[in-house]
Every structure is written in C-alpha cells, then in structure tokens.
Amino acid sequence: MPTRSEQFAGVSTAIITPFRNGQVDIETLQQQVQFQIDAGVTCVCPVGTTGESPTLSHAEHERVIAAAVEAAAGRIKVMPGTGSNSTEEALRLTRWAAKRGADAALVVGPYYNKPTQEGFYQHYKALAEAVDIPICIYNIPGRTGKNIEPETIIRLAELPNITMVKEATGSMDQASQILANTDLTVLSGDDSLTLPLLAIGGRGVISVVANIVPQDMIAMIAAFEAGNIEEARRWHYKLFPLCRDMLGLATNPIPIKAAMKLLGRDTGELRMPLVPLAANEEAKLRKTLSTYGLL
C-alpha cells in the first residue's frame, strides 16, 4: 500500500552547513547540493541536526534554505529543518521555507521545554494548518529530551498535511506501531537502522553518511526494493562501520565534518560549542575511511 509521501521515498541527505572563517560558505554548500544531485538522491535536508541549526542565526538559517532551494533548482526535493521549541518561531520558519520554494518541512519535536503529548499535538497542528507543504515529524528524543509517543503521531496522521516521520527513537516497536496504524511515510533517522526499518515498511532514510557515500545508500535501498535481500544486507554490513563512526565517535556532525575534511570536500570547521575530533578519534575515523576504500 503506498504511503502518504511516496515522492520522498529513498535517500534524503541531511547535508552539513559548511563554514569558512566562521561564516556560512554558500558556494561550498551549493557544490555539496550538486554532489547530491549527481549521486541521484531524492532530497536534501539542510539546516537539520547535521546542518548545525542550533548555532545558526535566523538570518543564516534562512540563507542556507534559500541557497539549497536555488542550487536544487527543482531537480531534487528540498526538505529543510524548520523546527523550534517555540511554536511561534517554528511557524515563522516553516512559513518562510514554504514561501521560498521548499518541498516539505522537517520539524523536530520541541526540545528542552518538554511539552506534554497534547502540547506536541497542538504544536504540529498549528504548523500543518499554516502551510501547504508536507510536514515531516522529526522524533529524536535523545536530542529533545522527550519522545513523541506513537499514539500522538497516530493522532497527528489525521491531519492531511502531516505526511512523514523521521524516526530516530531507535525503537522498532515505536516504528511498527506507527506503520501498522497510519499511511505515513516513515524515514529512518539512524543510518544503521535503515535496513531493519525498510523490512517493517519504512520507505527510506534521512542520512548523515550520504554526505560522503550517497550512491551506496541508494544501492542498499534499491537492492531491498528489488527483493534482493542478500545484496541489501551486504551493503548494510559494508556501510555499518561508517554509520557507526558517524554517530558513535562523537556528537553528530563532528565526525561527518572530519570525514569530509579528510576527503577534501569541506574545511571541517564547526561552530562552538562543537569542537573537532580528538587525535585518537580522528585516527579511528581515518582507519574506517581507509578500510571502506575512501582514503
């Protein structure tokens, strides 16, 4: 049975925000969008967790969205992060993204202030009623401090504009409950859980590792879709050490930025309070990249 936002099935890349001397590097950002287009991804997701949205000013946040939409030029979809722990702020950003040509909005659960389940419901309802573009609920309790319970997501699915979930709880039970009771398009928020999620009805991934190996992520999903489970599993095991290091060596996006620097694709610059990998962590990452065949 087709899900609600099948046009977002496959690989979406949670792209980094490149910095140079403390400033957002728009030229490199647009080159990275082009890199994703050439690889054949479905969508890019700027200004999410990987895009260091917490340390961007509002003006920078908007500039990155506009630059990504411009670089994509309708050739792939753009689903920027427009969430906030303030409903008013999330409304403003989501409206702005819709007006600037974004194809959907990736909206993280309000963080830090820990709303009740009714609060989550009212937050997303306000956004869904304010814009015409599809909304993807981004549920990442490890970052936000609170889970959006499956019952709340099932209730939100009654709103036609809520069409997707970026599932980053790490719980297959939660994902199964959502998939069994809604026609929402569920996308993996953890690279290493993409294949298990596909097996229960997930439709793709919003991927960190696709910043460097988008074709391999695409190949894994294509193999699964073609019914070639053995090949999909082979890709899963090949990608696994890379996926593990990107989220395990340090907080995302520290490792992916380090990897892109090692591969000559970015300065590797981060915004404080994020700091670069320690020497021993970088050595581990270098080894993983070499073993993978990237270095």
Could you give the residue numbers annotated as active site? 138, 166
Element at 136 (helix H, strand E): strand 135-139
- Give CA–CA dist 170/268, Å, rounded: 28
Burial of 275 per CB tally in 10 Å (0-12, 13-18, 19+): exposed
Tell me whether strands 185-188 and 19-20 are parallel, antiparallel or unpaired.
unpaired
Using an 8 Å Cβ cutoff, are 116 and 82 in contact? no
Residue 60 vs residues 12, 26, 46, 267: alpha-carbon distances, Å: 22, 10, 12, 18
- Give CA–CA dist 232/194, Å, rounded: 11
- Give CA–CA dist 110/93, Å, rounded: 14
